Amino acid sequence: MTPRETTVFMKGIVKVYPDGTQALKGVDFEASKGEIHALLGENGAGKTTLMRILYGEIKPTKGEIYVFGEKATFKSPRDALRTGIAMVYQQFSLIPSLTVAENIYLAASSVKRVSLEDVKARTEELSKNLGWKVPFEYTVENLPVGLRQRIEILKALLVGSKVLILDEPTSVLTPLEVEELFKVLGNLRDEGMTIILITHKIREAKKISDRVTVLRRGLKAGTFNTLEISETNLARLMVGEEVELAIRGGASKPGTPALVVEKLKVKDDMGVLRVKEATLTVRYGEIVGIAGVQGNGQRELVEAIAGLRPALEGRILVDGVDATKLTVSERRKLGLSYIPESKLVGLALEMNIVENSIMTSLLQFTRRLLEVDWGKARSGAGDIVREFGVVHRSLDDPVKSLSGGNQQKLMVGREVNKKPKILVAHEPTQGLDIATAIMVRRRLLDLRDKGSAVFLVSSDLEELLSLSDRLLVIYDGRIVSEGAPRDYALEKLGLLMGGVIEAGQE
């Protein structure tokens, strides 16, 4: 192997956030020309923080950065872009109301003076090399996410970046789009680019990268040639200890229907039909999971079930009662409980932990004269915080002062601790460390074993496969497949979720 030319070298990077969180505790990182370097770690391991430091977006508390052999002190991403480093975030930084050409122009012109025509011509040439078609005249908001990501990458290439950082680029893509992306990344590497891929998916790192650096809780667990390390070892390094990845409860004993959805149609905020005739049943004593790429109607489906979004057509039965027209609290009285995907929905961030802990059960904490029983609320909040390990200073602190993972624990703990008859859980373990995620999963199984019905919507396939008694697949607003989890190999599930195959033609 020829000696590789180092493009990026970060030494002893420490990052302490103003709230005292130690995101990075002295990390070395090095990437070379012509390689795809995977940065692997769990949520909260510090991957994104490290790369945002490299990109000049946040400043390290300590440590040095060298780019192309020279010491770099970036004041802003603009400095990083000028030096040849670009980053594509999970949340794209495109302006939805502008056209593709205008977006690319905006990015290019912030680095140096260019004309729109020039930008178009060069984008055209670039994309031809990559084998992409660029719909210049479309406004970005009308484009699917896969295309938006390509535009982000084109933006990066156009400003002459030599180092491309991608933050979890596959999380929004279908399996086919992932293949496409990886092919392009491979070509770019062969042309001599340095590509840094932030990911938490071991399989992905293994498949595409040349080297892989594993981060664990703000520390580097090691850098390896990808070919020389096994998936199991990577998993071990990532997690730090042997954890039981798959948990299984005993066999389920499904009872009577708890939640029935019949031919449901639901629109999203923009008036687009997102749920197109969904029919499903969840019985007491079972966990029904639903798999799908984000944005295929899951959110609208669960919001309609919870009563936050009107059903256009169809029926929703909760505990045998037609709940289609009932309010959120009426459905709650029927035993329905709901963990939303977004913390902006599920938490009042300005309010404190005690106040948030009673948000979905205010009636239980109300004395006569509509007075809130704060003493009782405080002890309930204490239980949630203790059982779910919510790291906090004081119960009187506003929830916005908690980290995202701890907010999630509070939001999940609040619903699980109510021991609901029917629980609709949307991404219940997002942002949680593995130990807490496993605990939450155990609690869901526990609810099921005690006779509750659980409807689980998750983008974590392992979670779905290990918890569900029955698994549904949603694609484009329709339930396209239903079966026992053991019937689904990961590949088959991927094809169903990507709309490549439909039920029946498997």
Partner 1 sequence: MRLARSDIGLKRVYPLLESLAALIVGVIGGFIVAAALGYDPVASISLILLSGLGNLEYLFSISMPLALSALAFILPLRAGLFNIGVEGQAYIGALAAIYILSLGLGFPLPVILAPLAGALAGFLIGVLKVYRGVNEVVSSIMLNWTLFYTVSFTVSRYLRDPLIVHQSVRVDRMLPALEALILTLAIVIAVHIILYRTTLGYHIRVMGSSPEALKYSGGSESRSIIVAMTLGGLLGGLAGTLQVYAVSGFIDVTMSAVFGTGFMGIAVGLIGRATPIGVLPASILISALIIGGHRLELRLGAPPELADVIIGVMVLALSAPYALRLLSLKLWG
326 binds partner 1 (CB under 8 A): no
**349, amino acid identity:** L
Q: How far is the CB of 21 from partner 1 (least distance, A)?
A: 10
For partner 1, which residue of 14, 16, 58, 501 counts as binding (CB under 8 A)?
58
Residue 57: DSSP 8-state: S
User: Which is nearest to 334 in space by CA: 317, 318, 358, 322?
Assistant: 318
Q: How far is the CB of 388 from partner 1 (least distance, A)?
A: 10
327 binds partner 1 (CB under 8 A): yes
User: Which is nearest to 189 in space by CA: 212, 209, 168, 215?
Assistant: 209
For partner 1, which residue of 23, 181, 275, 390 counts as binding (CB under 8 A)?
390
347 binds partner 1 (CB under 8 A): yes
Name the residue with tokens 């149609």: 265
329 binds partner 1 (CB under 8 A): yes
How many of the chain's residues bind partner 1 (CB under 8 A)? Answer: 41
Interhelix angle 175-190/490-497, rounded to 10 degrees, is 100
For partner 1, which residue of 37, 211, 283, 392 counts as binding (CB under 8 A)?
392
Which range binds partner 1 by CB under 8 A, 152-160, 311-319, 388-396, 437-445?
A: 388-396
Q: How far is the CB of 343 from partner 1 (least distance, A)?
A: 9
Q: How far is the CB of 434 from partner 1 (least distance, A)?
A: 17
Q: How far is the CB of 154 from partner 1 (least distance, A)?
A: 28
143 binds partner 1 (CB under 8 A): no
Residues 6+ apart with CB under 8 A from 320: 256, 257
Which range binds partner 1 by CB under 8 A, 128-136, 162-170, 232-240, 367-375?
A: 367-375
362 binds partner 1 (CB under 8 A): yes
Name the residue with tokens 């491979």: 186
Q: How far apart are CA 254 and CA 207, in angstroms?
A: 40
User: Which is nearest to 282 in space by CA: 451, 455, 449?
Assistant: 455
Token pair recorded at residue 480: 């396209």
Q: How far apart are CA 496 and CA 474, in angstroms?
A: 8
Cβ proximity to partner 1, 200 vs 418, nearer residue? 418
For partner 1, which residue of 349, 435, 489, 490 counts as binding (CB under 8 A)?
349
Q: How far is the CB of 358 from partner 1 (least distance, A)?
A: 8
48 binds partner 1 (CB under 8 A): no
346 binds partner 1 (CB under 8 A): yes
Token pair recorded at residue 99: 């056209």
3-state secondary structure of 165: strand
**237, amino acid identity:** L
57 binds partner 1 (CB under 8 A): yes
Residue pair 202/214 in contact (Cβ under 8 Å)? The answer is no
Q: How many CB atoms lie within 10 A of CB 344?
A: 9
Cβ proximity to partner 1, 90 vs 329, nearer residue? 329
Cβ proximity to partner 1, 59 vs 128, nearer residue? 59
For partner 1, which residue of 204, 355, 415, 433 counts as binding (CB under 8 A)?
355
Residues 6+ apart with CB under 8 A from 310: 266, 304
For partner 1, which residue of 284, 338, 455, 488 counts as binding (CB under 8 A)?
338
DSSP line for 232-283: HHHHHHHHSS--------------SEEEEEEEEEEE-TTS-EEEEEEEEEEE
328 binds partner 1 (CB under 8 A): yes
In total, the chain counts a number of residues equal to 506
Residue pair 422/318 in contact (Cβ under 8 Å)? The answer is yes
The mark string for 286-325 relative to partner 1 (x by CB under 8 A, - otherwise) is: --------------------x-x-----------------
Residues 205-264 that bind partner 1 (CB under 8 A): none
Residues 152-181 that bind partner 1 (CB under 8 A): none
Q: How far is the CB of 135 from partner 1 (least distance, A)?
A: 33
Residues 6+ apart with CB under 8 A from 227: none
Residues 6+ apart with CB under 8 A from 80: 54, 55, 56, 57, 72, 74, 86, 87
Cβ proximity to partner 1, 245 vs 328, nearer residue? 328
Q: By the criterion CB under 8 A, which residues form the site for partner 1?
A: 18, 20, 57-59, 306, 308, 327-329, 332, 338, 340, 342, 344-351, 355, 359-360, 362, 366, 369-372, 374, 385, 389-394, 396-397
